[in-house]
Structure 1
Amino acid sequence: MPIPLILYKIFKAGVVSEPPPEADLSLRTRVQTLHADILKVFGQAVAIRHVDAGSCNGCELEIHALGGPHYNIEGRGVKFVASPRHADLLLVTGPVSRNMEVALHRAYDATPEPKWVVAVGDCGCTGGIFGESYATRGRVSNVIPVDVEVPGCPPTPFALLQGILAAVSSAGNND
């Protein structure tokens, strides 16, 4: 039986994936600092409500990575909630589409004080490639007040952690 052409190409190419990145030991101390800041400011977990205001879902993939075993933010006192009424922080992704403008306002109004808003990704920070048009209001700050911006397309999970830490740290400085 002859070897199919695809198998021949696979054997000839070998392993083509890149080696895994080196472990970042500063991440562990940064996450521990985040946990200590959360406990200092809130005395409990920080509740985050994620609002997708019209994104391409690239940022959502990185947000989901935060819940994995490598970052384990739930174990550090950062929890995602289903309702803005239970949230301390809104994590907003994407340019705000015209259809999501009212829903974003409602989520912001439903979030109890004190509240913080983190705009995620280039689209959330600047409007990205979409800008302002007939279909979109552009950046999140055009619709609701933003406390922290996390640029990137999409931003890395570490950048998201830094943005959450910046929001929590600013909360601690306001008290």
Structure 2
Amino acid sequence: MATHLILQKIFQTGIVSEPAPQADPALRTREQELHADILKVFGQSVAIRHLDAGSCNGCELEIHALNGPHYNIEGMGVKFVASPRHADMLLVTGPVSRNLEVALKRTYDAMPEPKWVVAMGDCGCSGGLFGESYASCGKVANVIPVDVAVPGCPPTPTALLQGILAAVSQGRESTGT
């Protein structure tokens, strides 16, 4: 009986909430701006092949953060693929160990044109703590051409997004698309 009275009161009163406020673009974070920029540049999507050339896995943790709900990189049309034959971009972490030098070259050669290479982290950009030695070729650019180097130990996910966008923006400008 009481339920009937409550429902009757709700129908008599109607909706009393305020209308939803308008969006305030000034409140957007840099990540949201990056999402919009990436969609503009990529159009539909871009496929990334990640290759760990001998890293400590610090950079890989930041890459995993990109796939989480906060950055939602896949929602922006950026996806990671298992085969270099399906990739537009090669993301390389770590100094290139001598054992992975040939694998890195083969991965790069297997990618279709146009292709972009992003070296991630201090190790990928400069050889980091490991440098060049009997066991390490040093930076990625010593083995294959690099379009963008994203420094940091490890770089933040936002810095990595900016590096990915920089590589694709540069590539689109040079190909005229």
| 1:25, distance to aligned residue in structure 2 (A) | 1.1
Query: Segments of 4+ in structure 1 off by > 2 A?
Result: none
Name stretches of at least 5 consecutive residues in structure 2 with no aligned partner: 1-26
TM-score, with structure 1 as normaliser:
0.83
Q: How far apart are 1:24 and its partner, in Å?
A: 6.7
CA RMSD, Structure 1 to Structure 2 (Å): 1.0
Does 1:165 find its partner at 2:139?
no
| SS at structure 1 position matched to 2:129 | coil
1:110-151 CA-partner distances (Å, limit 9, x unpaired): 001100000000000000000000000000000000000000
Uncovered stretches (5+) of structure 1, i.e. residues with no partner:
1-22
Report what 1:111 is aligned to.
111
In 2, Cα distance between the equivalents of 1:128 and 1:58?
13
Cα distance change on mapping 1:102 and 1:29 into 2, 3 Å: same
Alpha-carbon distance in structure 2 between the residues aligned to 1:33 and 1:108? 26
Sequence identity percentage: 72
Give 1:96 shift.
0.1
Q: Is the counterpart of residue 121 in structure 1 residue 121 in structure 2?
A: yes
1:1-16 mapped onto 2 (5 Å cutoff) = none
Q: 1:25 maps to which residue?
A: 29
Q: Which has the larger radius of gyration?
A: 2
The one-letter code sitting in structure 2 at the alignment partner of 1:35 is L
Partners of 1:153 and 1:35 lie apart in 2 by: 27
Q: What is the CA distance between 1:173 and its match in structure 2?
A: 0.9
Match of 1:87 in 2: 87
Q: Cα distance, 1:34 vs. partner?
A: 0.8
User: Which residue identity does 1:96 align to in structure 2?
Assistant: V
